Chains A and B, each alone.
Chain A
Amino acid sequence: MDMKVAKKLGLKERYTMMTRDLAWDTTFQPMDKVFPQVGYEGIKIHDWDKWEDPFRLTMDAYWKYQAEKERKLYAILDAFNQNNGHLSVTDARYINVLKLFLGSTPPLELMAARGFSMVARQMVGAGPRVACMMQSVDEYRHFQTQIHSISNYNRFYNGLDEFAHQQSRMWYLSDGKSFFDDAITAGPFEFMVAIGFAFEYVLTNILFVPFISGAAYNGDMAAMTVGFSAQSDEARHMTLGLECIKFMLEQDPDNLPIVQRWIDKWTWRGTRKLASVGMMMDYMLPKRIMSFKEAWEIYFEQNGTALFTDLARYGIKVPKCFEQTIEEKEHITHQSWIGFYMKPDATPFHTWMPQPEELDWLSEKYPNTFDKYYRPVYEYWIEQEKAGNRFNNKTQPMNCQVCVSTIKFNEPGDPMEMCFRETEYKGEKFHFCSDHCKEIFEDEPEKYVQTFISSHAALQGKCEPEGTDVNAHDYRPGARMHAYWRMDKRASGDFNGSEDQKNFAKWRAQATRN
């Protein structure tokens, strides 16, 4: 906007004229038919005009700044790829971070894109509608730039090639899929709490800030650029999530218990989802930037406390799971890595035993738990590996009916005991990883009986590759999971001895001598 106009109209007035002044209350069709979804969750909104727009970007400014970001980003990606930048990363183990990331993150960004389009259509107020649709296209940006930045790695390393096919089939991607499927099948306000608030505001910093700094630390300019560039949109997304919470709470006191239940539920679901991110930080980055525990303290405990102290004036309490997550921050990354290490045939990325100095780093970062509970496990497995007996668990895991993680976390207060809960609903038994997941189920059993758990579905013959004859005399359900996943054998197994390891060493050698 030019200066003359800017002087006449302030930012707020100008933005009002450019957004909510465009909208009108329909009269030829009733408003509740045009916006049919805003009532059924029980949230009461009396005045949509009370919505405060935090960022006030008109489309001309949006396009101007986003175009500048994209220009820079793709210039860096092109240069990185032209210069064989993949060989400048610290060590080939790092590439497994990208495999985990590509499988788990872009498909969820895509769900966010579609979910925000849905909410953008359903919100009555022009303010939240515009912010949601802007976030929707930003999410398109994120999954596309993520795929584009990793695409070149796919040409040289195994395990990245079938992410699109695996997103709905791979067992360990099911927790993220269920998280977003759960959010998108909820109503528009719950979606906003789930994704806009719990995920974006409370948890996303843990996912991106350490991941991106980790990429930078490990020489991956492509992922670093994409990550930071995406993160520049996140500030907008976070303010949208926070604004939505405040808006609901200010509109009607009856909204408080509903919002509180959603905050409890989604903070917990997000925490479970982040276990694998923490594992990546503690075990998969060859050069580590901070431990998961440290990141959790800065971005969840400190920042979360600031947030919930602030929201206390509306009557919001700290999420129920808060204390448990503080106890778990010293355990979950180790339990997750152990879980993946045990299944070398079942992931399209490699796992490995930490090197001696890495074990020491873990001891230092986790003084209360690592030497006591986890180092002995690793030392045993390292011995076994040396003896040619690398651990390989071929059994089917048991999964939580709500978060779909494999049941592997410990009983609160007792690290030596596996936490396990069950309940009965309509004559059938359901299993959970925690009290929180059990409670989520019991609040909405009709929803969570539907959860797709591939270890169960496979035994019911629902996970077969295309063309399988289930009537054949030698048919065994679940026997052809690798084909169902389209998993390249070269992508699985231990990192040591893998094709990636050999190729990386060979190509690096070409670069350093004649």
Chain B
Amino acid sequence: MTSNAFIAFQKNEETRCIVEAIVEDNPAAVVVDQPAMVKVDVPGRLVIKRATVEEKMGRDFDLQELQLHLITISGHLDESDDEFVLSWQR
């Protein structure tokens, strides 16, 4: 069975766009709504693409801005200027 990689954010306008971008780039994503928080599970590998987030937000976005909203993650992290990847596959 493939393990889930996941990420959780505080709920706000910015993270609404981020979650939309994740859902678009990760077809297997499952979004779990909780009080004041939103969690996204993806089997194996979860990717956040800067370009997609920028498109959703209508502005430039630095992936390090994720720092402002993160609650928790699961998986090995690999971060570049363009992608933020959580993964249990190597």
- Distance between Cα atoms of A302 and B78 in the complex (Å): 22
- Distance between Cα atoms of A339 and B4 in the complex (Å): 37
Choose among A212, A232, A235 the residue with the greatest number of B CB atoms under 10 Å from its CB: A235
Tell yes or no: B16 within 8 A of A by CB. no
Q: Which residues of B contact A232 (CB under 8 A)?
A: 10, 67-71
A57 in contact with B64 given A303-B74, A310-B88 (CB within 8 Å): yes
- Minimum Cβ distance to chain B for residue A141 (Å): 13
**What 0/1 readout, one digit per residue, does chain A (23-57) give for beta carbons within 8 Å of chain B?**
00000000000000000000000000000001111
- Distance between Cα atoms of A236 and B78 in the complex (Å): 12
Tell yes or no: B17 within 8 A of A by CB. no
Q: Which residues of A contact B75 (CB under 8 A)?
A: 306
Q: Which residues of B contact A68 (CB under 8 A)?
A: 68
Tell yes or no: A430 within 8 A of B by CB. no
Is the CB–CB distance between A209 and B72 below 8 Å?
yes
Is the CB–CB distance between B79 and A69 below 8 Å?
no
Is the CB–CB distance between A238 and B68 below 8 Å?
no
Is the CB–CB distance between B36 and A224 below 8 Å?
yes
Stretch at the interface among A6-14, A148-156, A166-174: A6-14
- Distance between Cα atoms of A231 and B71 in the complex (Å): 5
Tell yes or no: A161 within 8 A of B by CB. no
The prevalent SS among residues of B at the interface is: strand
Is the CB–CB distance between B73 and A235 below 8 Å?
yes
Tell yes or no: A460 within 8 A of B by CB. no
- Minimum Cβ distance to chain A for residue B33 (Å): 11
Pick from A6, A61, A216, A239: contact of B36, CB below 8 A.
A216
- Distance between Cα atoms of A305 and B8 in the complex (Å): 19
A11 in contact with B77 given A65-B67, A213-B36, A231-B71 (CB within 8 Å): no
**What 0/1 readout, one digit per residue, does chain B (1-41) give for beta carbons within 8 Å of chain A?**
00110101010000000000000000000000011110000
Mark A residues whose CB is within 8 Å of B. 6, 10-12, 54-57, 61, 65, 68-69, 205, 208-209, 212-213, 216-217, 224, 228, 231-232, 234-236, 238-239, 242, 289, 302-303, 305-307, 309-310
Q: What are 16 inter-chain pairs, A to B, with CB distance below 8 A?
A: A11-B79, A54-B76, A57-B64, A57-B67, A65-B67, A65-B68, A209-B71, A213-B34, A216-B35, A216-B37, A224-B36, A234-B70, A236-B67, A302-B4, A305-B3, A306-B74
Mark B residues whose CB is within 8 Å of A. 3-4, 6, 8, 10, 34-37, 64-65, 67-81, 88
